[in-house]
A and B are shown apart, each in its own frame.
Chain A
Amino acid sequence: MRREWIHAGLLLAPALVLLFAFTHLPAIQTVIDSFWSTPRGRRPSAFVGLANYERLLADPIFIRAMINNAIYAAITIPVSIALALAMALFVQRRIAGRGFLRMAYFTPTVLPLIAVANIWLFFFLPGFGLLEQLRGFLGLSPRNWIGTPDTALYAIMTVTIWNQAGFFMIFYLAALQTIPESLREAAAIEGTPRWVFFRRVLWPLLMPTTLFLSVNATINAFRMVDHVFVMTQGGPNNASMLLLYYIYEQGFRYWDTAYAATLTVVMVALLALIGIGQFFLMDRRVHYK
């Protein structure tokens, strides 16, 4: 019996070591770091208790980042999922060029985000960007999408939605394939309108996928900040500041590692809460086979 336990331990050891080294230990270290001050080359760190958290609550840029992230999540999650579902329903039927359309929808996901963010930057540029030229044809007023605080965050959101909708579409496509054709035929026989069929049959059956995608989209709403580096750098005046970008700025541009650790603790706690909350909220509605 003991030999089996030893074998089990040895087999689990590599995975456990990696998990501890790269996930649990850094998490614990981060929580500990948030209670100490930042060490500089000439001054070692000192225990400061909750001082970092007090600073966090009084920091207007942190509040701004949280509000921005909330708006960012509130818009990108439903819009990406809705768009993905619409695209999946569209390319699921037998239409000409279906394969090409699927590839076109999925391409944004495979392109590196930093590279496409540079291209989007040129789309948005006032004066001679692509959007400005289209605007010229339509005769609308000029807009500095990235350089105005009202629209900077929405410009960022556009790139995010564009990037992740194709990825989500794949999951919906797979889920749609598993829905038996007999259901559709039965509905056709009974003369059910398409919208009612969607609401009463497709949507509940797709709930497991929707739950999975909403958790994914939530994580992405906090994780995808690559394009902020390229397009707005959190500006103008923190109008498009997002939490993860703020953590990077504090931790790796200002080297204020203690404050960055504090922000990280907040972000991880928030994500855990939202993740668990989503599971509990949608669990009753999810119809597993």
Chain B
Amino acid sequence: MTPHIKTRLLAAAAMFGVAMAPATASAVDLEFYFPVAVGGDAAGIIQRLTDTYMEENPGVNINAIYTGSYADTTTRAITAARGGNPPQLAILLSTDMFALIDEDIILAWDDFVTDEEQESWIGGFYDSFMANSQTGGQTWGIPFQRSTPVMYYNKEAFAEAGLDPETPPATWDELVEMGRQLTVRDASGNVSQWGVRIPSSGFPSWLFTGLVASNGQDGLANNEGTQVMFDTPEVVEALEYLVSLATEHEIMAPGILDWGATPRAFLDGESAIAWTTTGNLTNIRSNATFDFGVAMLPANVRRGAPTGGGNFYLFDGSSEEQLQAAVDFVKWATAPDKAASWSIDTGYVAPRPDTWDTDEMRAYAEEVPGALVARDQLEYAVAELSTYEGPRITQIMNDAIAAAIIGDKTPAQAMADAQREADAVLAAYR
């Protein structure tokens, strides 16, 4: 090599070295998958949340990636983890916990928090939300966009039907009675307004858990995720009630009712009462042209409701630095002030009691008393259906409920078959 070329090579190497040096002391990159399961601009709000965090913490770069529905997000997260390229954080269903543990791709949060934080941060969430977030003495998910279903009712429709607009149905029998008065039929017998709408497409097991809880059973599975209770008398009765709303009492449209279209159906006056997630509260509040109310799900033996929604999960396979940065971001995002604005902007339930004490939440609760319904309902909330091979077990239950609603099977037969199929799947995990 001539001296001329040698000098040039050395100079190039030196410049290369200088250029690389700052890169090593640079920002921590985090990838964060999030789903959107409600109407409104949840994606924009998440984006603003991460932007604010990045402004306050210049050493961290968070790439918030919208990944579709909960099911899509779970698929993508597991696919990415299996492909060796997992995100650091993802918001997935709280019920995915067992599936993710079984796949061996998530980490317990306990290893990343101090003892004091364990008590004040992790211990500061509502117990009913932690029911689907902890197992085996460890915390696997941090509640973020949690919800319970509530009953939205059209006060104007109530008044027109001669009912008191401030008294929503509080029991199963009252729902049937009021539903009869609220169902408006025209001269040819076609219904222009249904009394009640309980959607049954996609994942009817969620709302169904509420019916089961209000009939006295604490959910559909045990805490270890290895046993399901599908064919108990309480569950069969709850399913018979759900089916009778359309077939016997004719206060609900027959067949499977679409989940995604329910807010629109309620806002268009297609039904006077609609059961859907509290996450739709802001959407309904912004678009309602009539006075509406929010109430707890009606009781039978007692009040009951499922919890639902998504938790933050921490994924294995990233550097210590990234994981710590991810934990810090989640701590920041679940702090009372951030959780309060998130809850107000979307309608999700703030998962910590201290969030409800902030000035923002107090003012919001005064303006929108409906927001308090979801919080107050937490007292009666039970865990959502969550087991090993969760998606398959949930689908067995969903198919069974659908079969009963469309009349392919009697409720008792549907639940007996579901129990048998679920037992066959879960046998491997006991």
Do A255 and B99 touch (CB < 8 A)?
yes
Q: How far is the CB of B30 from chain A (nearest CB, A)?
A: 23
Q: Is A252 in contact with B258, judged by CB distance below 8 angstroms? A: no
Asked whether A127 and B265 contact (CB < 8 A) given A121-B258, A146-B256, the answer is: yes
CB-nearest residue of chain A relative to B409?
Answer: A237
Asked if residues B71 and A236 are in contact (CB atoms below 8 Å), the reply is: no
Is there a chain B Cβ closer than 8 Å to A78's Cβ?
no
A238 at the interface (CB under 8 A from B): yes
Partner of A235, one of B194, B261, B402: B402
Which B53-71 residues have a C-beta within 8 angstroms of A? 71
Please provide the chain A residues from 97 to 133 with a CB less than 8 Å away from any CB of chain B in the complex.
121-122, 125-128
Q: Does B216 sit within 8 A of A, measured CB to CB?
A: no
Residue B240 lies at the interface, judged by CB distance under 8 Å to chain A: no
CA of A148 to CA of B200, assembled, Å: 12
Contact (Cβ within 8 A) B256 A235: yes
For residue A233, which residues in chain B have a CB less than 8 angstroms away from its CB? 201-202
Chain B CB within 8 A of A195 CB: no
Instruction: Compute how far the CA of A71 lies from the CA of B299 in the bound complex, rounded to whole angstroms.
Output: 45
Assess whether A41 is in contact with B256, with CB atoms less than 8 Å apart.
no
Whether the pair B75, A238 counts as a contact (CB closer than 8 A) is: no
Q: Which residue of A lies closest to B100 (CB)?
A: A41
Main SS of the interface on chain A? Answer: loop
The answer, among A122, A128, A236, A256, for a CB contact under 8 Å with B270, is A128
Chain B's closest residue to A248 (CB) is B75
- CB distance A126 to B75 under 8 Å? no
In chain B, residues 345-375, which have Cβ atoms closer than 8 Å to a Cβ of chain A? none
Question: Distance in Å from the Cβ of A235 to the closest Cβ of chain B?
Answer: 6
Proximity bits, B384-404, A CB within 8 Å = 1, else 0: 000001011001001100110
User: How many chain B residues have a CB neighbour from A under 8 Å?
Assistant: 39
A126-B253, A252-B79, A255-B78 known; A41 and B402 CB under 8 Å? no
Interface centre among A141, A148, A235, A238 (most CB of B within 10 A): A235
What residue in chain A is nearest B407 (Cβ atoms)? A149
Chain A window 124-159, contacts with chain B (Cβ cutoff 8 Å), 1 for yes, 0 for no:
011110000000000101101011110000000000
| Interface pair B403/A252, CB less than 8 Å apart | no
How far is B253's CA from A249's CA once the two chains are assembled, in angstroms?
A: 29
Q: A115 CA to B82 CA in the complex, in Å?
A: 29
Residues from chain A with a CB closer than 8 A to the CB of B264 are 128
The answer for the CA separation of A232 and B356 in the assembled complex, in Å, is 39
Cross-chain contact B79 with A41 (CB below 8 angstroms):
no
Give CA–CA (A81, B185) in the complex, Å. Answer: 43
Shortest Cβ distance from A59 into chain B, in angstroms? Answer: 11
B405 at the interface (CB under 8 A from A): yes
Q: Are B104 and A41 in contact (CB under 8 A)?
A: yes
CB-nearest residue of chain A to B268: A128
**Docked-complex contact A42 and B102, CB < 8 angstroms:** yes
What's the minimum C-beta distance from A134 to chain B, rounded to whole angstroms?
14
A40 at interface, CB cutoff 8 A: yes
- Complex CA gap A127/B262 in Å reads 11
Q: Find out whether the CB atom of B257 lies under 8 angstroms from the CB atom of A147.
A: yes
Measured CA separation A254–B393 after assembly (Å): 9
Q: Given A126-B255, A254-B389, are A236 and B79 also a contact pair (CB < 8 Å)? A: no
B256: A residues at CB distance < 8 A: 144, 146-148, 235-236
Chain A residues within an 8 Å CB radius of B201:
147, 233, 235-236
- Per-residue 0/1 for B86-116: is the Cβ within 8 Å of any A Cβ (1 yes, 0 no)? 0000000000000100111100000000000
Among residues of A, the one whose C-beta sits closest to the C-beta of B405 is A236
Task: Give Cα distance in the complex from A149 to B201, angstroms.
Answer: 12
Bound Cα distance A118, B302 (Å): 39
B84 contact set on A, CB distance < 8 A: none
Additional A-B contacts beyond A141-B190, A236-B201, A254-B391 (9; CB < 8 A): A40-B104, A42-B102, A121-B258, A127-B268, A128-B270, A147-B255, A147-B257, A147-B406, A255-B78
The 5 closest A-B pairs by CB, nearest first: A41-B104, A147-B256, A147-B255, A144-B255, A41-B103
List chain A positions with a Cβ less than 8 A from chain B.
Answer: 40-42, 121-122, 125-128, 139, 141-142, 144, 146-149, 233, 235-238, 249, 252-256
Can you give 18 contacting A-B residue pairs, CB < 8 Å?
A122-B261, A127-B268, A128-B264, A142-B191, A144-B253, A144-B254, A146-B258, A147-B200, A147-B201, A148-B254, A235-B201, A235-B402, A236-B403, A237-B406, A249-B395, A253-B74, A254-B392, A254-B395
